[in-house]
Amino acid sequence: VRITAVRPRTPAVPEGEFLLVDAAGLKGSRGPTTLLASGAGLDAKALRAAVRGAGSNLSVTLRADERAALSGSPLQAGAERIYVWAVLAGAGYASLALVLSLLRSAPERAALLARLRTLGLTTRQGRYLLGLETLPLALLAAGGGMAVGWATVGLLAPGIDLDRLALAGASGVTAPQGAALRADPWSLALPAAGAVLLAGAVAVAQAWWAGRRTPITHLRAGDMR
């Protein structure tokens, strides 16, 4: 036996020692027993019907079916649901806190706009003013959220085994090495951009609502705000 290459693992033998031998060099070899086919126009039903008519010891295995079996494991599906609900809950609480903080300062903003309108500020300029006022805090919050998310992924990555999570329900499959949890820039940037847009939208809505009312409604005699 002449060794041509050394491999640490093989999908055919998940555990233990193994030796792959070229069947063409063996006497009495029966020839190939596996046919691999690929293409965009493969019909699974037609293939199974043809194999069923050729013999009972033949079978058809589709890559799509094997991939669906790997991705549909209970552990992986449960982890995806937990992640989705955690993201939705975090986004909901963050949006609620942002809206409540802006609504809490709504009377002061309305009074400020009323005073500025008496000095000649237009409604459009008032919208720009409130939008620019909330922009620095929104940008700081978005940047801090992205930094915390990136640091969280970096700290949790060594303790999460994605190989076992993805192939938890698979038997006879060798888990690939090197799959690591990484921070996706779009997953961090999109929520941050959404927070900035939400803050700007609430500020513009406040300016629009305050512009519908006359300044005398917000300014009262003796009001020291």
Q: What is the per-residue pLDDT across 134-166, written as a single tens digit (0 to 9) for each?
A: 788 888 888 888 898 889 888 888 877 776 666
Write down the H helix ranges in 105-122.
106-118
Q: Rounded to two decimals, what is the model's pTM?
A: 0.55
Q: If pLDDT is split at 50, 70 and 90, which confidence band does 221 have?
A: very low
Confidence label for 222 from pLDDT (cuts 50, 70 and 90): very low
Domain ranges for the chain:
73-168+180-218
Of 145, 143, 136, residue with least CA distance to 93: 145
| pLDDT on residue 210 | 64
What confidence tier does 114 reach under pLDDT thresholds 50, 70, 90?
Answer: confident
For the chain, percent of residues with pLDDT exceeding 70: 78
Mean pLDDT of the chain, nearest integer: 75
Task: Locate the DSSP E strands across 39-153.
Answer: none
